[in-house]
Chains A and B, each alone.
Chain A
């Protein structure tokens, strides 16, 4: 047992990994083999066999912590005394948290719209162009960079040095400003602009995702529709407005909602670039700070619940749109 629990050397760790993979394969093969052998298994057995583990995972890893978080949000900092809705009142009335909520709204509105718009225009422009795959790779590459990595890169881009004596700029953005004859700026210091500069980072990452999905959808538009529209005299913007966009509407909805959900959870960018200072904090970062730094479990849980409530309409909208799309089909 001890051999399985405490691995100290790399070889030992690798061996453990192999053991784990073998175990997984063994369990899966027993399952699949068993399913094949038992010809007349009752439906309930099959259902439990397939859904049971998932349901267990969901109940233990999602539903229970979720309910517990809601309960904790009604208690005080040490989770001892019931305080009712006090934490929610603080979250909505305290000026500090109102700014957090304002920033979250800015993020959730701007990132999905801008990223999708950029992705859509780009996908349509490069469709069937000569260097399509190269152009696609260019904008998709940021997706491969982790959020923390991207934040560090952009922190260098925004890096500030004063314009005095022989001090050289390090940051790309400020060097451009200096070349153009402007004063270097502290991009991350002055609100509300600093939040916008953080949002740029997220758009930079997400535009690639939007472009890929939308490009696939554009390619799936049946040629006969395009041809018929062309015969009817549509081209350029008209084609884009009346044929392309309506045809890829389901893809657009998926992209918009997926990015909106990713944005609501944004934590890495804020933490890495400003640490939530200078009025750039968002709900997803503030709930971590309150729970683990300020030791205020109640307020942290309340912020988490607010985040959860904010996600619900997006998920509902997403599911409804998928249903509608399927009914059309």
Chain B
């Protein structure tokens, strides 16, 4: 009896070990090779001769952009692939931020990664100085020519350009129903005070509804929409200079000026009279999925929802995104500043980071930094994307919100600031900040405690 049992155990253990090994070997990303069957965007190959003949060469791209946006990405590479002969191996992963450092550590980096967080880029350059390859000269030339200095700086570490901007987004928007505004005689607020007055007016006019709806649930990234709220308000109550000091940790995270901003956010998000239309009490913000939070606007259960330009992809297909009032229509207005002349703008983007100096990789990086690519991308994209490239032809954008975003981003009267949590170290920007803001709303954690806890999580070095 004993020997039989022992042998059974060994077999089981070996089997389990084998199974584990096999699982470890299976690939975890969807390996989208780009030779799909979608209609290729036709292109004049004359523009592509500068990249040389790259026949038989392949370039691997690792990103956090997954379906359906992944297809728009791969489609936009088609002309490059057809004209140069190179193959782009595109791999999108929802676990990008956790997996990329693992791949770097294991000595198995992709050729190119699209990093959405300048803070993450900075820590990669610090931790793997020999693995991250600075942008080649032609890419630098393109970046300097087509991007504003601040965008070049987001992709630079210690004055050296490592990553060029890919896409861009604008977060300082409030979604609303133009029809509901017209029916009730509301106008789009021009200042922060107008906005608070409007909020109070809606609350008084509609006892069955709430002025705002909000949701910050996003799987293991729950809390990020709340960090955007705080960043937007810091820009408005404390100004862009304090914002920069705060993001770079030149003032502590729990500085009194930040506390003021958090209290201002709380005066809306934690005020039972102002939230959470059609979704529940204040705490329900923490459990409402961010991509569904705006829906009550269409039912008239709430009137305002602060979200980025890319939120438009989350509306149902029959919802019309347009400024003119219409049934089942939505649009977004700029989240106003303190005064009409005070126009801070919060946004974000991705950055093309290279881990190989092979010529085909360099050529592709140069291509991605060119207006040529940005325009190709706009042609194959329905909505929710635009570029900060100055050579970008915004008339190619199909969505009015994307056009508005591009207009605001390129309008010099607006002061652009990059998403703060994306610039902070990962321990804060992708963990403590999210978690503590979630606790602030979901568990009614005090303002001061919330900021103190995030300050405590800031890495020592």
Interface residues of A (CB under 8 A from B): 8, 53-54, 57-58, 61, 77-78, 96, 160-162, 164-165, 167, 186, 188-189, 191, 271, 275-279, 289, 292-296, 326, 329
Contact = CB atoms under 8 A, between A and B. Distances in A.
B287 A78 contact: no
Nearest to B14: A54
Given A78-B461, A186-B280, A293-B431, A277 B222 contact: yes
Contact of A162 (B17, B280, B430): B280
Nearest to B443: A278
Among B14, B281, B457, the one with the most A-chain Cβ atoms within 10 Å of its Cβ is B14
A186 B283 contact: yes
B20 A295 contact: no
A294 B281 contact: no
B439 A275 contact: no
A289 B5 CA distance: 39
Interface string B222-235: 11000000000000
B426 A277 contact: no
Nearest to A278: B442
B106 interface: no
Given A54-B14, A162-B278, A167-B278, A295 B427 contact: yes
Given A61-B21, A275-B222, A277-B286, A292 B281 contact: no
A162 B210 CA distance: 13
A57 B442 contact: no
B275 to A, nearest CB: 11
Given A186-B280, A293-B431, 18 more contacts: A54-B13, A54-B14, A57-B17, A57-B21, A61-B20, A78-B127, A160-B280, A161-B279, A162-B280, A189-B443, A191-B443, A275-B220, A275-B222, A278-B442, A279-B439, A293-B98, A294-B457, A295-B427
B13 A189 contact: no
B212 to A, nearest CB: 14
B425 interface: yes
Contacts of A296: 427
A54 B10 contact: yes
B278 A8 contact: no
B81 to A, nearest CB: 14
Given A277-B435, A277-B439, A329 B1 contact: yes
10 smallest CB-CB distances across A and B, nearest first, come from: A162-B280, A292-B98, A294-B427, A294-B431, A275-B220, A293-B431, A295-B426, A277-B438, A57-B17, A275-B222
Contacts of A294: 426-427, 430-432, 457
Given A8-B33, A61-B20, A160 B284 contact: yes
B67 interface: no
Interface in B308-351: none
Contact of A293 (B123, B219, B426): B426
B459 interface: yes
Contacts of B301: 165, 167
Nearest to A291: B98
14 contacts: A54-B10, A54-B17, A57-B14, A61-B21, A78-B127, A165-B208, A189-B283, A191-B443, A275-B220, A276-B435, A277-B222, A278-B442, A293-B97, A293-B431
Contacts of A278: 286, 438-439, 442-443
Contact of B443 (A271, A279, A289): A279
Contact of A160 (B5, B287, B457, B459): B287
Contacts of A77: 427, 459
Nearest to B208: A165
Contacts of A188: 287
Contacts of B442: 189, 277-278
A329 B2 CA distance: 10
Q: How large is the interface on B (under 10, 10 to 19, 20 to 34, 35 or more residues)?
A: 35 or more
A111 B21 CA distance: 29
A38 B446 CA distance: 75
B33 A58 contact: no
A17 B5 CA distance: 32
Nearest to A165: B208
B430 to A, nearest CB: 6
Contacts of B21: 57, 61
Interface in B400-422: none
B432 A161 contact: no
Contacts of A164: 208, 278
A56 to B, nearest CB: 10
A141 to B, nearest CB: 23
Contacts of B13: 54
Contacts of A54: 10, 13-14, 17
A167 to B, nearest CB: 6
Given A293-B431, A295-B123, A162 B426 contact: no
Nearest to B20: A61
Contacts of A53: 14
Nearest to A188: B287
Given A57-B17, A58-B17, A191-B443, A162 B287 contact: no
Nearest to A272: B219
Nearest to B33: A8
A314 B131 CA distance: 44
Contacts of B439: 277-279
Interface string B91-107: 00000011001100000
B208 A162 contact: no
A162 B284 contact: yes
Interface string B1-27: 110010000100110010011000000
Contacts of B443: 189, 191, 278-279
Among A53, A191, A271, A293, the one with the most B-chain Cβ atoms within 10 Å of its Cβ is A293
Nearest to A76: B460
A291 to B, nearest CB: 9
A264 B326 CA distance: 55
B17 A186 contact: no
Contact of A275 (B102, B208, B219, B279): B219
A129 B425 CA distance: 61
A295 B425 contact: yes
Contacts of B101: 292, 295
Contacts of B286: 189, 277-278
Contacts of B427: 77, 293-296
A276 B221 CA distance: 10
Contacts of A292: 98, 101-102
Among A160, A191, A271, the one with the most B-chain Cβ atoms within 10 Å of its Cβ is A160
Nearest to B58: A6
Among B33, B219, B432, B435, the one with the most A-chain Cβ atoms within 10 Å of its Cβ is B435
A54 B31 CA distance: 32
Interface string B262-283: 0000000000000000111101
Nearest to B5: A326
Contacts of B281: 162
B168 to A, nearest CB: 25
Nearest to B459: A77
Contacts of A165: 208, 278, 301
A315 to B, nearest CB: 13
